[in-house]
Amino acid sequence: MVAGHPFHVAFDGIATHLGGRSSSGNDDDAPADGEPNPMANRVAEPDNADSTLADEITKYVYSKRTIYNNNAGIEESIDAGYTYSELDNYRARTKSGNGLTVLSEDAVINEYLGAPRRSAPDAALAVSATSDNLDLWPPVWDQDVRIGVIGGTGLYSLDGLNVIETLAVETPWGQPSGPITIAETERGHKIAFLARHGPSHSVLPSEVNYRANIAALKALGVQAILAFSAVGSLREEISPGDFVLIDQIIDRTKGVRADSFFTGTGVTAHATFGEPVSAGLRALVARHAAAVPDIAVHTSGTGVCMEGPAFSTRAESNLYRAWGASVINMTCIPESKLAREAEITYAIVCMATDYDAWRESEEPVTVAEVMHTMKGNAANAKTLLLALLPDFEDAVYNDSAKALMRPEAGSMQYAFQQPPEKQSAAGRATLNFLFPQYFTV
C-alpha cells in the first residue's frame, strides 16, 4: 500500500488515550457499580487545546469498554491494578471521517504525544493537547507487510515468529473478526495474521465480517493470503488429518453474507472468478508437503462452501459427492471472492477433520470429533507454514517479476461498467480505501 493511506487502527496495550471531557453528560457508557472508573485520574484538558480536534477524536477504548467523547484533549485514564495488556488501545478518527493511518505505539506516544511510555500503570503522565504536538497527526503506517495468513478453526495464533505489534483496524465495512497480529520472520519480513472467527472463536461462519477482514489486510499492504480452514472430507481417500489444496469452489451459501465490496456503493463491477484459487500459491504450498510427513497433502480438489452453522444432512453430503466435490466447509465463500475483488492472491489449505455425513457405517460429524482432530491439524498447519515461508517470502518480496501475484494484480482495472462521472461520489469515496488507483477523491 502507499504510505499514508488512511485507515482507522489501534494498538494493543497502548498506554495513552485520545478523548476529552464529555459534553453530553450522558452516563450510558459509565462503568457498572464496582468497576474501575476509566475516567478517574485523568489529565485535565488544557485551556489552549486545539478546538478543531473536537470532531476529529470520536472515541477511545479503555479496558474493553468504549467511552464516547466529542471534545478534544488527551487524558490519563489508568486505575491502579491495570496493566498495559489489560488496557484496550485508543481509537481515533480524522475530521474527514476516513480514519487514521498509523505508526508504532511507542512512536505515537513519543513523537506525536510528546511523552515516553510509562513503565507502570500508575506512573505520572502529563500531556498537552496543543497543535504543537499534534501537527503531524495522523501518523503513517510505514511497515512493509505483503503476506497475510488467515487462521481457521483451531488455528488462532502463529508460532515460531516474532510478534511485534497487534493492530485493531477499522474499515469502511466495519472491523475485522479480531486484532491483526504483525509478526516478523527470521529473514526480517512482516506477516499479518488474522483469526477468521476471532481469537476465542466467538464468530459464527455466517457472522464473519469477511469484507472487513480482507479490506483490513489490504489496507496493511497485504498482496498474498494463505488461509487455513477446517473441512469435512467427502472422499474416502481424504482421511481426517489430511490437507487439501482446493482449486475449485461450489457456493452453497444462502445469500445472507455480504459478498462484494461494491454492494451498496452505486458502483457496478464484475470480478473474474473462473479460477478462484491461485495456482501459483497452491503449487508453492504443495512443494513443502514433505514438512508434514505423517499426513497426505492433496494438491487439488473441489470445495463446497455451505452456510452452516449446522453440518450437512446425509442426503446433502451424498449430493455434493455426486457433484465431484472433495471437501466441505463454511468459510471459503465469500472470503475467496473478496480477495479476488481486492486483487489479492489467495489460496486455502483445507484441513480435514471428519467424513461429514455421507458414510453410512458411522455417525454423522459432531463438534467433539472435529475438535479432537483439530489439535493435530493446527500443529501440522504451523509446521507447514514455517516450512514454506522462505519460498513464500522470495515469491512476494524478491521476485522482481512478481509472477505469483501477477494474475490478480490489476485484475479489477477493467471490471467497472460505468464511466467515473456516472459512479456514486459516496461510493467512490468508500472504494478509495481499497482502490486508490481507481477511485480518486
Question: What residues act catalytically?
Answer: 354, 356
The C-alpha atoms of residue 85 and residue 389 are separated, in whole angstroms, by: 29
**DSSP helix/strand/coil, 151:** strand
- The single-letter DSSP state of residue 290 is G
Residue that has been written with the C-alpha cell 488429518 in this structure: 241
Distance from C-alpha of 370 to C-alpha of 154, rounded to nearest angstrom:
10
Cell of 440: 480518486
How many CB atoms are located within 10 Å of the residue 128 CB?
A: 18
Cβ neighbours, 10 Å, residue 188: 10
Could you tell me the end-to-end alpha-carbon distance of the chain, in angstroms, rounded to an integer? 17
Continuous segment of H or E residues that includes residue 402: none
How many angstroms separate the CA atoms of 31 and 18, rounded?
A: 18
Spell out the SS3 assignment of 340-385: HHCCCEEEEEEEEEECCCCCCCCCCCCHHHHHHHHHHHHHHHHHHH
* DSSP output for 251-281: EE--S-S---TTTTTT--B----SS-S-HHH
Nearest to 66 by CA among 25, 107, 38: 38
Count CA within 13 A, CB hemisphere, residue 296.
Answer: 11
Count Cα atoms within 13 angstroms, Cβ side, for 172: 22
Burial of 244 (0-12, 13-18, 19+ CB in 10 A): buried
Q: Which of 85, 64, 77 minimizes the C-alpha distance to 14?
A: 85
How far is Cα 372 from Cα 205, in angstroms, rounded to an integer?
20
Helix residue ranges, H only, 42-183: 105-107, 131-134
